[in-house]
Amino acid sequence: MSPAPLAVSAIYISIVGVDVVPPYYKVKYTAERMLEASGLGVTIRVPDMGGPETHTLPDLVRTHLAYRGSRRPVLPVPLAGKAYAAFRRGGNLAPSHAVGKGTFEEFLAAAGRRG
């Protein structure tokens, strides 16, 4: 008697912007499409959620420096490439699903308490 065929299934966690931010995201998006086409009964979970606030990278750096008591100037450096262009367009954000509760300031405060 042959053993019963093994049922294979997988859950693959996606990320916000996977379909619009290259190159890492492009590879992840390709992997998702391959899994969907595999016939393995794959579930792709899209955590379409974000935090309660949206900040630019220079704003986050300024907040971090202020938290540390530093008065260093922050000079924004324009970054080139398709990935950075997609980030500037907000391809990695989900402001319409801002379900997160913790702010960056709260994260810094908690990190400071942990040492």
| pLDDT tens digits, one per residue of 58-102 | 899 999 999 989 999 998 788 888 888 888 888 888 888 888 888
Give pTM, 2 decimals.
0.59
Instruction: Write the DSSP assignment of the chain as a string of letters.
Output: -PPPPPP--EEEE--TTTTTS-SHHHHHHHHHHHHHHTTS-EEEE----B-S----HHHHHHHHHHHHT-----------SHHHHHHHTTTT--GGGB-----HHHHHHHHHHH-
